[in-house]
Amino acid sequence: MTQVAVVMGSTSDWESMKQTVMLLKELGISYEKHVISAHRMPVHLQNFAEEARNNHFQVIIAGAGGAAHLPGMLAANTTLPVIGVPMKSHALNGLDSLLSIVQMPAGVPVATVAIGNAGAKNAAILAAQIIALSDKEVLTNLVNFRQAQTQQSIDSEKELR
């Protein structure tokens, strides 16, 4: 059973979304990655979202840019948690993506993270935190990840000396 679906609107989103995949691997979470464009593949999008729970995914992470309707339309068609990652677009630096993803109407939430690489990484960690509610192995990986991150920050001070 694959735990997380990583969906992106275009292969052009991969540069950022590979950060998500790298962290999911580090946290020991299984994933599938898919390119599904909300505008160019609307029927695929609906079918994928409707079948996501039956396919045993626990969380969907969706990265999209510009008129970024992918996370919202996935959320509209599933009761699984959807985490939206706004891509840093060329025209508006990702502000367009952020506003498209974050401004969901009441009733259909998308957990929206930061624009670009930080958001792509945090999406993986947030997915891990959701999965860790019922998965002790992932919880252990998450705790170890946090401890290593804290230690790195402590050690980084030495570079200033």
**Other beta carbons less than 10 A from residue 76's beta carbon:** 17
117 touching ligand RP5, by CB under 6 A = no
Name the one range near ligand RP5 by CB under 6 A: 46-54, 60-68, 73-81, 140-148: 60-68
**Smallest distance, ligand RP5 to C-beta of residue 8, A:** 6
Contact pick of 66, 84, 94, 116 for ligand RP5 (by CB under 6 A): 66
H and E: helices and strands count for the chain: 6, 5
* 40 is an annotated ligand-binding site residue: yes
Contact pick of 59, 60, 64, 80 for ligand RP5 (by CB under 6 A): 64
Record the tokens describing residue 84, joined without a space. 């939206």
Residue nearest to ligand RP5 (CB): 9
CA torsion angle 69 84 36 13 (round to 10): 100
Amino acid at 97: S
Helices 136-156, 117-131: axis angle to 10 degrees equals 140
Residue ranges that bind ligand RP5, judged by CB under 6 A: 9-10, 12-13, 37, 64-66, 87
Task: Cite the annotated binding site for substrate by residue number.
Answer: 10, 13, 40
